[in-house]
Structure formats: C-alpha cells, structure tokens
Amino acid sequence: MDGLSNSIITGVDILLMVTLLVCCYTDLRSQKIYNAVLIPAVVAAFVFSYITGGLGGCFYSLQGLLLGIALLLIPFARGGIGAGDVKLLGTIGAFKGPEFVLTTFLAGAITGGIFAILMLVKQGRLMITLKKIYFLFLNKVLHIPISVSFKTLDSAVEGESFPYALAIGIGVVWAFFRG
C-alpha cells in the first residue's frame, strides 16, 4: 500500500476504535470486558473482511483472531491476565490481521510492563520485586540454590491488578501510527 492508503481511516478502523473504547471503559470501571461487546465485533470484522476480500479476507481475519488469542494464552493460563484481555486481542486480530495484532501485542506488553513498574513504585514494592526476580533467576536459570522467603510479597500481590485493556489500547494506537 502507498502512504496515502495507510493514513485513511476506514469503517473497520472506526468500529475497532469504538469496540476498544468500550472495552477500556468497562475494564477501568468494573475490571470486565464483556462478550456482549466482543462477539458482535468479531462478527462485524469477519463481515467486513468478507465484503472487502472474500474468503481470503475471512482467512486473514481468522489468522489475526487466532494469533491474538495465542499470544495471550500463556499469560492467561499463568493467571497474569483475564480471559477478556485474551478475547480483546483476538478481536483486534480479527479486525486488522496478524501483523497488526503482533505489533499491538508487543507495544501493549511494553506498556503493561511500564504500568506494572509504576504500580510497584507507587506501592513501595519495586525493590523487593526486583530482588525476587534476581533470586528466581539465580535459582531457576543458573541453578544456584537460594532459600529466601517472599511470602509477604506473594500475599500482598494477590487480588491486585490493573486494567490491561488500557495497555492493549495503547498498543493499538502504536500499531496505527506505525503502519
């Protein structure tokens, strides 16, 4: 595509941004991303893909959907993020395809990391978290036996979270400006 085509906002872009804004709002407000928003958005993404690219367009959307879900499956399985975040990234992939969702994921991960560091600084727990990472590295990667207890950190972290949809949203904005 030429530079002009990349700067044109399409109906797909508008629908994606509306979906994203609603999901960010609900995630900030209630820490939930609703299927009632995501399912119609995925259907609309596939309809747009079919209209503009036929079955090939649908296959491209399917690739984006599956990649978006796959990228967050491990963090979800480890309890780091919620199912709504996984489905949101998949929805973004359905709208914009695999390359866009990969860029969104990477930028969102960086943003999420920055948010996490800011939360730890605000809570006064940055240094103990860095120590825990250091000792885990020594123990798990270098196989150096370490006997340090971090139970107070583990119990303090339980139940605390931040709305990852916001990090994903910043990733989408980055992907739009990058592309």
Report the length, in residues, of the chain: 179
State the greatest distance between any 2 C-alpha atoms of the chain, in Å, as a whole number: 60
**Total-model pTM:** 0.83
Stronger pLDDT, 142 or 95, i.e. the higher one: 95
- Please give the tally of structural domains in the chain: 1
Stronger pLDDT, 41 or 7, i.e. the higher one: 41
Compute the average pLDDT of residues 155-170. Answer: 77
Give the H or E element holding residue 74: helix 35-77
Contacts of 85 by beta carbon, 8 Å cutoff, 6+ apart:
33, 72, 76, 164, 165, 168
- Which residue range(s) make up the domain with 34? 3-178
Instruction: Report pLDDT for 47.
Output: 97
Q: The tokens of 96 are what?
A: 């914009």
Instruction: Report pLDDT for 6.
Output: 52
Is residue 106 scored above 80 in pLDDT? yes
pLDDT band at 156, cuts 50/70/90? very low
